[in-house]
Amino acid sequence: MAIVKPKGKLATATAEAFISGAPDAAPTAKAAKGVMLGNKRQITLTIAPELLAMVDELAAQIGQSRAAVINLAIRQAIERGLTIEGLGRVG
């Protein structure tokens, strides 16, 4: 009977990491972007200064934060749909 050194978990994990890093490795699920803050994900948003001014004005009128107004607008667009010029109603 031959004496065989058992494979350790570290060696297996290292090998798997090496194999999965190969250019021809099977694609993996994309990692979610942004930082988790509680039950929400923080993202970066680029917005025109004029539009941001209108968002801030609306937020002040209704006593909400900028983030709350943007979240509400996104939710309403998803739930009610959008009308996009050239495409019509979407969603």
pLDDT in tens, 33-49: 888 889 999 999 999 99
Amino acid letter for position 87: L
Mean pLDDT of 13-17: 79
The pair of structure tokens assigned to 68 is 């709350």
pLDDT of res. 28: 66
pLDDT > 90: percent of the chain: 46
- Domain ranges, ordered by start, for the chain: 31-90
pLDDT of res. 17: 80
CA-to-CA separations, 60 to 67, 70, 91, in angstroms, rounded: 12, 13, 29
pLDDT of res. 6: 66
pLDDT of res. 48: 97
Entry pTM? 0.60
Q: Note the pLDDT tens digit of each residue in 16-26.
A: 888 777 877 77
CA-to-CA separations, 67 to 33, 45, 85, in angstroms, rounded: 18, 11, 26
